[in-house]
Amino acid sequence: MAHEDDVAHANGVIRSMVGGHLYELGVSAGGLVLRFSSSWEVSLGAATSVGDAPPVETTSADCVAAHMPLLVADLDAAGIGEDGVLTLTLAGTTIRCAPEGDYEAWQLNGPDGELIVCLPGGGLAIWSARPA
């Protein structure tokens, strides 16, 4: 479970993601990577749900296929809950990635060096932007 102050800080940091569009999907043995025109990168390593579908492993063909229609869609909203769940809403469709007990479920890399990682159990590790 993430600390309330960490969640508020992280949600403030990721505000700059919103408005960019999803321009690239990448797949690796570790999961799915979403790259946005706002220069943010989202790595999903835990089971992920798209819309009303049940969560599926990010390395599965079903997960990749579920994300394909969202290519070039604008990111309407992004948020992190106190339970560590990451939500991204694109063109009215919500992607959800919940924490795992044994490994880091997701991470966000920002354009200025920001890094937010969902730790095992849902806590957050947050690194701020690099000094100018």
Query: Would residue 64 count as lying in a domain?
Result: yes
Which residues are CB-neighbours of 123 under 8 A, at least 6 positions away? Answer: 1, 2, 3, 6, 84
In this predicted structure, the answer to whether residue 129 has a pLDDT above a threshold of 90 is no
Confidence of residue 2 (pLDDT cuts 50, 70, 90): low
Confidence of residue 3 (pLDDT cuts 50, 70, 90): confident
Owning domain of residue 23: 4-127
**Is 116 within 8 Å of 126 (Cβ atoms)?**
yes
Query: Would residue 104 count as lying in a domain?
Result: yes
In this predicted structure, the answer to whether residue 132 has a pLDDT above a threshold of 90 is no
In this prediction the pTM is: 0.94
Instruction: Specify the DSSP element, H or E, that contains 62.
Output: helix 61-67
Query: Would residue 132 count as lying in a domain?
Result: no
Count of structural domains, the chain: 1
